[in-house]
């Protein structure tokens, strides 16, 4: 057969095709993609225990070196969340706990039909906190030191003498003059409590349908409140755009949004002024730090939502300590059962929390007390919520 350009290309293609499928043990052994196993340390995850108590779940992760990490799962049906956390252990067993990003991705992407959503992401958030806790303890530093170090010396929290958050329950689809006056008087009363140098946050709680909220917001002065929290049901960006165009008061949202992928549309559409991710809802410390970076690119500050015990609060404070654009952090000490844990931060008279100290999250759990709390019956509150005067179901 004469040598031609066509023959040369055909022969070359056949050679490439043959070698592409031929086993090459030397190349496979040297392939960087095959070298993801950790070979720098012998620490491994050996167990995970999830303990539900009341509406919360505590996750305990143990390692073969005796270092233990704790995290909190929040705002789920606790027995289901605990079972899910323990079922996910199969993806963590024998892994190096310091590979936090790798393990987050493994948990999130492992099941193609379960990724996202509150049950999976809230559960991953509790596991993520525990992994950061372990890693901080191994390095002997607070978690925020591993996030780039603190960007502030203290963290403003609310409620306090200078920050208040009046809120609302389910509202009708249109406001009467009496409805508007009642809420305006309520909000202005809160403004008088904190004075002109204080913050008032109005929590619409997703409970105000857009017509009602537009009527109310436009009856207020733009400085009466710092921002309106949960102005609409999460995820409906078109509603947020409509509200943003009609309301002169800054708008905030985020406590029921999860991962960077659910926060991006608000920023891209420029329809919110403040983001309020919850560390226990958005995917843990790992995701909260990423959300803060996305928000920074749009000059949107964070005001983190938080209704966990002081275990989850501590995790959120570590993330908040390491971000640049920040307003104020939610914190209710009464949520934590007495005697359940010890923390190493406190809130001063001016409403500022000190930075958490000590390695990891800086929280110690009384496991005897936790076991005691887990045996108490729990009745969920949500079946009684979200009803209008006529008995129809409302957002809340």
Catalytic site positions: 205, 305
Q: Tell which residue, 153, 137, 97, 125, has the closest CA to residue 363.
A: 137
Higher pLDDT, 98 or 30: 98
- pLDDT at 9 (0 to 100): 44
Predicted TM-score of the model (pTM): 0.89
Query: Residue 342: which H helix or E strand, with range?
Result: strand 341-343
- pLDDT at 322 (0 to 100): 98
**Quick one: CA dihedral 184, 190, 196, 200, positive or negative?**
negative
C-alpha 319/C-alpha 301 separation (Å) is 14
If pLDDT is split at 50, 70 and 90, which confidence band does 27 have? low
- pLDDT at 11 (0 to 100): 46
DSSP E strands in 204-289: the ranges are: 227-229, 251-253, 274-275
- pLDDT at 169 (0 to 100): 83
> Which residues, including other chains, have CB under 8 Å from residue 102's CB and lie 6 or more apart?
36
Q: Could you give the strand order of the β-sheet that contains 56-63, starting from the edge strand earlier in sequence?
A: 45-53, 56-63, 68-73
If pLDDT is split at 50, 70 and 90, which confidence band does 379 have? confident
If pLDDT is split at 50, 70 and 90, which confidence band does 325 have? very high
Is 205 a residue whose pLDDT tops 90? Answer: yes
Q: Give the residue-averaged pLDDT of 104-108.
A: 97
By DSSP bridging, strand 251-253 and strand 274-275 are parallel
| Fold of the CATH domain 45-145 | Enolase-like; domain 1 (3.30.390)
Domain with CATH 3.20.20.120 in the chain: 149-358
pLDDT in tens, 206-263: 999 999 999 999 999 989 999 999 999 998 999 999 999 999 999 999 999 999 999 9
Residue 306 sits at the vertex; the CA angle it makes with 232 and 240, to the nearest 5 degrees, is: 15
pLDDT in tens, 179-202: 999 999 999 999 999 999 999 999
- pLDDT at 215 (0 to 100): 95
Residue 287 C-beta-side C-alpha neighbours within 13 Å: 32
If pLDDT is split at 50, 70 and 90, which confidence band does 354 have? very high
Percent of the chain with pLDDT over 90: 81
C-alpha 274/C-alpha 229 separation (Å) is 9
Higher pLDDT, 370 or 30: 370
Q: Show the DSSP H helices in 140-201 as ranges.
A: 177-194
C-alpha 88/C-alpha 127 separation (Å) is 10
Is 12 a residue whose pLDDT tops 50? Answer: no
Q: Give the residue-averaged pLDDT of 75-84.
A: 97
Domain with CATH 3.30.390.10 in the chain: 45-145
pLDDT in tens, 155-178: 999 999 999 999 988 888 889 999
Q: What is the mean pLDDT of the chain?
A: 91
CATH number for the region 149-358 comes to: 3.20.20.120
If pLDDT is split at 50, 70 and 90, which confidence band does 34 have? low
- pLDDT at 168 (0 to 100): 85
Q: Give the residue-averaged pLDDT of 21-50.
A: 70
Instruction: Transcribe 9-78 into DSSP letters.
Output: HHHHHHHHHHHHSS--HHHHHH-GGG--S--S----EEEEEEEEETTEEEEEEEETTS-EEEEEE-SS-H
Can you tell me whether residue 278 is helix, strand or coil?
Answer: strand
- How many angstroms from the chain centroid is the CA of residue 117? 12
- pLDDT at 46 (0 to 100): 98
Is residue 323 within 8 Å of 95, Cβ to Cβ? no
């Amino acid at each position: 057969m004469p040598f031609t350009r066509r023959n040369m290309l055909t022969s070359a293609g056949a050679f490439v095709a043959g070698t592409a499928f031929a086993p090459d043990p030397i190349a496979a052994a040297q392939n960087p993609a095959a070298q993801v196993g950790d070979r720098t340390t012998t620490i491994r995850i050996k167990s995970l225990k999830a303990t539900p108590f009341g509406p919360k779940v505590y996750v305990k992760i143990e390692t073969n070196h005796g270092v233990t990490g704790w995290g909190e799962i929040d705002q789920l049906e606790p027995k289901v969340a605990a079972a899910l956390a323990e079922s996910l252990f199969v993806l963590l067993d024998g892994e190096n706990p310091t590979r936090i990003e790798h393990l987050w991705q493994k948990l999130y992407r492992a099941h193609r039909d379960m990724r996202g959503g509150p049950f999976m992401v809230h559960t991953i958030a509790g596991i993520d906190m525990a992994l950061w806790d372990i890693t901080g303890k191994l390095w002997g530093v607070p978690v925020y030191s591993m996030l780039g170090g603190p960007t502030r010396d203290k963290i403003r929290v609310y409620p306090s003498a200078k920050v208040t958050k009046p809120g609302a329950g389910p509202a009708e689809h249109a406001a009467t003059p009496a409805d508007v006056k009642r809420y305006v008087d309520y909000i202005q009363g809160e403004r008088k409590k904190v004075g002109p140098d204080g913050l008032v946050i109005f929590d619409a709680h997703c409970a105000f349908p857009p017509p009602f909220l537009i009527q109310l917001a436009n009856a207020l002065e733009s400085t009466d409140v710092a921002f309106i929290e949960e102005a609409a049901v999460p995820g409906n960006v078109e509603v947020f755009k409509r509200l943003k165009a009609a309301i002169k008061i800054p708008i905030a949202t985020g406590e029921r949004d999860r991962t960077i992928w659910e926060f991006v549309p608000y920023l891209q559409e420029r329809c919110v002024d403040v983001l309020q991710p919850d560390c226990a809802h958005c995917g843990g410390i790992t995701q909260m730090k990423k959300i803060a970076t996305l928000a920074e690119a749009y000059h949107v500050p964070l005001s983190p939502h938080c209704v966990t015990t002081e275990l989850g609060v501590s995790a959120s404070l570590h993330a908040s300590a390491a971000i640049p654009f920040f307003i104020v952090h939610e914190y209710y000490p009464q949520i934590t059962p007495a005697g359940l844990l010890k923390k190493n931060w406190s809130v001063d008279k001016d409403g500022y929390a000190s930075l958490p100290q000590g390695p990891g999250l800086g929280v110690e759990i009384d496991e005897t007390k936790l076991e005691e709390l887990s045996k108490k019956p729990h009745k969920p509150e949500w079946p009684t919520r979200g009803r209008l005067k006529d008995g129809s179901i409302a957002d809340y």
